[in-house]
Amino acid sequence: MDLKDLYQDVVVDHNRSPRNFRKITDATSVQEGFNPLCGDKLTVYLKLDGDRISDVSFEGSGCAISVASASLMTETLKGKSVAQAEQLFEMMHTLLTVEDPKRDMESMGKLAVLSGVREYPSRVKCATLCWHTLNNALKNPDSRPVSTE
Amino acid sequence: MNARPGGLHDSATTAAFDAPRWRRDFPIMKQRVHGKPLVYLDNAATSQKPQAVIDAVSDYYQHYNSNVHRGVHQLSELATAAYEGAREKLRQFINAASKQEIIFVRGTTEAINLVAQSYGRSHLQSGDEIILSEMEHHSNIVPWQLLREQTGVTLKVIPINDAGELQPGAYETLFSARTRLVSLAHVSNALGSVNPVKEMISLAHQHNVPLLLDGAQAVPHMPVDVRDLDCDFYAFSSHKMFGPTGIGVLYAKEQILIDMPPYQGGGEMIRTVRFNGSTWNELPHKFEAGTPDIAAAIGLGAAVDYLETIGMPSIRDYERGLLEYGTQQLQSLAGVKIVGTARHKAGVLSFVMDGVHPHDIGTIVDQQGVAIRTGHHCAMPVMEHFHIPATARASLAFYNTREDINALVQALDKVREVFR
Ligand SMILES: Cc1ncc(COP(=O)(O)O)c(C=O)c1O
C-alpha cells in the first residue's frame, strides 16, 4: 500500500484549501458531527430549495481525510436533489467499506479519490463523518450532534 | 549509577545500559510492520512482553492450570503458591508493609473504581470534597463523577500551567474543612509530567486527608516505594509494566482496607454465607471476589522478576537520557512543538506539527513501521487546556534506543513530504 493512494494530490489540495468552508446564514438545516475518538468536529450547513440542494458548506477541524472528504462532498452535492444526495451517501459508504472491482467509479466523480481510505480501516470514520452529518441534516432538521464512534 | 536529579545526563551512564541486549528478550521486536522493522514507541498505551513473562503464562496453562484457594489437590496447591508468590513479589517491588495490602484487580481503572465505590461510598457524604488535577486520565476522573452522582461530593481540580506542570501553589489553596481525599497521577500519560507527589502527600496528611496515586505510568519507569512516599492508595496496571493484560494492583494501607466494605460479592471474598447474612474473608481476599486472572497474576510476578534483574534505577536513568535525546531531536524539527515540557518528566513525547493533524501523522509514520499513539490519550481536559483536539505521542521504554528516535524523526520527514 502506497501512502500516495491515501493522500492523493486532490486530497492534500482539498485539505490545504477546503472548498465551501464557511457558514450559511440562511441554512435550512445545520448539523454537528463529532468523532470522540480523534476529536474531529464538523458542522454541516445545508440549504434546501424545495427538493434541490441550493447550497451546502461546512466548518470545523479534523485530519486531512475528514477535511478533504467534507470539502469534496460539498462540491459534489451542490445542485443535486435530495434523492441523489442520499444515493451518493450510500455509494460513498460502500466505496469506503466494500472492495468491488466492478464498481462504476465514473459515477462517483471526484469522490473516487477517497477510495484508498478503504485500506486503512482506522481512518474510514474520518472520511464518513461528514456524510453521516449530512445525512442527519437531510433526515432531521433539528440539530443533534452525530457520533461516528 | 547515581544520576543527578533533574539535571543533564552524561552519556557514559546511558552507554552503560545495554538496551539492545534487553530488547532481544522481547520476541515481538522481530516483527515487521508494512515490511519495515517494528519501531515500537507506544509504551504508554501498553508495553511489550519479554519471553520470561510469556513463558510464565504458558507454563501455568501447560503444567499446573487449576483454581486457587479452592482445592486440596496438587495442581491447585501449585497454582495457589504461584498466585500468592506473585503477590509477595509485588509487595517487595513497591515495598508495601504486608501482602494483605496488595489487592489484585483488573488494572488501574478497576483499582480506582474500587476505591471510589468502596471507600468513597462508605466514607464520603454530600458536600465532602475530592481534589483531582487537570492532567488526570479519564479513569481518575469518571469514577469520581459517578461517586458525585451517588453521594453529592464535590470535585476540585488543580490546574496545570502551559508546561504541563501542576500550577505551583494552587494545590494548597484547594484544601478546606470538607476535603476528604486527593486522587492524583504520579506521572501524566498525556504529558509525561512527574508530579511532586511526596510533598503533596505530606501536605494532604497535614490536613488529615488520604491520597491516592495513579501510578500506571510511574511503576514501569522508576523505582516506587509506597512506604517512602507514604501514600494511602496506589494503583497500577500490569500491561504497562511488561506483564499480561487483565491484571493490576491496588495497594492501600492495611487499616484503610480493614475499614472498607467489600467492592464485589461472590466466591473467595467470604468467610461464611447464610441467607440471613454473610461474613467477609480476611485481606486481601475480601476484595477479590470470584476467580481471578491467575495466569496474568503469575505473569505479572515474572515481569517483576524481570524488571528487578535490570534494576529500576538503571531503567529510570537510561530513559531519562533517551527522553533528553528525543526532546532535542523533535525540537530541532521545523514546525514541531512538544506539548508537555515539565521540568520533571518521564519518557513521553507528546507533540503537534504545524498544518498536519495528529491522525495523519500516525498513519504516515505507521507506514514506516513506527508505532505511536495519536488522539486525546484519554485526557480530554489536557487537550482542552492546550486548545488542541489531539496530539501525536511517542512514549519510551527501556528497550527503545536512539535508533528508534531516529526512525521516528525520519518518518516525520515523510509526513512533511506528503503534506508539502
Ligand atoms: C495515567 C493512567 N491512568 C490510568 C490508566 C488506565 O489504565 P488501565 O486501562 O490499564 O486500567 C492509564 C492507561 O491508559 C494511564 O496512563
Answer whether residue B278 is part of any domain. yes
> Are residues B163 and B242 both part of a single domain?
yes
Assembly ipTM: 0.88
> Are residues B149 and B83 both part of a single domain?
yes
What's the Cα-to-Cα distance from B336 to each of A70, A143, B332, B350, B415, rounded to whole Å? 26, 37, 8, 10, 11
Position A97 pLDDT exceeds 50: yes
User: Domain limits at A43?
Assistant: 3-140
Chain B nearest CA to A39, separation (Å): 5
Answer whether residue B85 is part of any domain. yes
Q: Which residue reads 461472590 in cell numbers? A: B266
> Are residues B223 and B329 both part of a single domain?
no
Amino acid at B35: G
Q: Give the CATH number for residue A105.
A: 3.90.1010.10
pLDDT at position A147: 56
| CA B376 distance to own-chain centroid | 17
- Last-in-domain residue among B275, B291, B308: B308
Q: What gap in Å lies between CA B261 and CA B257, rounded to an integer?
A: 8
Query: Is the N-terminal amide bond of B284 cis, ω within 30° of 0?
Result: yes
Q: Does B354 touch chain A (CB under 8 A)?
A: no
- Last-in-domain residue among B308, B338, B371: B308
Q: Give the position, in ligand 1's atom list, of the atom nearest the Cα of B136.
A: 1
Task: Compute the average pLDDT of residues A103-113.
Answer: 86
B139 Cβ inside 6 Å of ligand 1: yes
What's the structural domain count of chain A?
A: 1
Main-chain dihedrals φ then ψ at residue B337, nearest 5 degrees: -125, 130
Burial of residue B420, with CB atoms counted within 10 A of its CB: 0-12 exposed, 13-18 middle, 19 or more buried? exposed
User: Domain limits at B354?
Assistant: 8-30+311-418
B391 and B383 in contact (C-beta within 8 Å)? yes
- Catalytic residue ranges of B: 378
Instruction: Compute, in angstroms, the gap from residue B216 CA to the centroid of ligand 1.
Output: 6
What's the pLDDT tens digit per position in B102-121?
999 999 999 999 999 999 99
Q: Does B390 touch chain A (CB under 8 A)?
A: yes
> Are residues B263 and B401 both part of a single domain?
no
Answer whether residue B153 is part of any domain. yes
Answer whether residue B40 is part of any domain. no
List of chain B residues with pLDDT < 70: 1-15
Answer whether residue B337 is part of any domain. yes
pLDDT at position B420: 82
Q: By three-state DSSP, how is residue B198 classified?
A: helix
pLDDT at position A1: 59
Q: What gap in Å lies between CA A138 and CA B254, rounded to an integer?
A: 60
pLDDT at position B23: 98
Instruction: Compute, in angstroms, the gap from residue B109 CA to the centroid of ligand 1.
Output: 6
> Are residues B318 and B303 both part of a single domain?
no
> Are residues B265 and B320 both part of a single domain?
no
Answer whether residue A98 is part of any domain. yes
> Are residues B159 and B302 both part of a single domain?
yes
What's the Cα-to-Cα distance from B418 to each of A3, A123, B33, B302, B334, rounded to whole Å? 8, 17, 20, 44, 15
Best mutation site among B43, B46, B104, B109 for ligand 1 pocket (most ligand atoms within 8 Å of CB): B109
pLDDT at position A36: 79
Answer whether residue A39 is part of any domain. yes
B361's grid cell? 501523522
> How many CB atoms are closer than 10 A to CB A5?
15
Q: Collect all residues of chain B within an 8 Å Cβ-Cβ radius of residue A123.
A: 359, 363
> Are residues B268 and B347 both part of a single domain?
no
> How many CB atoms are closer than 10 A to CB B262?
18
> Are residues B297 and B412 both part of a single domain?
no
> Are residues B70 and B130 both part of a single domain?
yes
Q: Give the CATH number for residue B149.
A: 3.40.640.10
Q: What gap in Å lies between CA B275 and CA A144, rounded to an integer?
A: 49
Q: Collect all residues of chain A within an 8 Å Cβ-Cβ radius of residue B34.
A: 1
Answer whether residue A148 is part of any domain. no
pLDDT at position A99: 86
> Are residues B175 and B299 both part of a single domain?
yes
What's the structural domain count of chain B?
A: 2
- B392 → chain A, closest CA residue: A38
Chain A nearest CA to B185, separation (Å): 22
> Are residues B118 and B245 both part of a single domain?
yes
> How many CB atoms are closer than 10 A to CB A16?
13
Which strand ranges, in their side-by-side order, compose the sheet holding B336-339? B336-339, B348-353, B391-395, B373-375
Answer whether residue B3 is part of any domain. no
Answer whether residue B112 is part of any domain. yes
Answer whether residue A62 is part of any domain. yes
Q: Does B375 touch chain A (CB under 8 A)?
A: yes
Answer whether residue A146 is part of any domain. no
- Last-in-domain residue among B291, B308, B325: B308
Chain A nearest CA to B377, separation (Å): 9
Answer whether residue A149 is part of any domain. no
Instruction: Compute, in angstroms, the gap from residue B360 CA to the centroid of ligand 1.
Output: 24
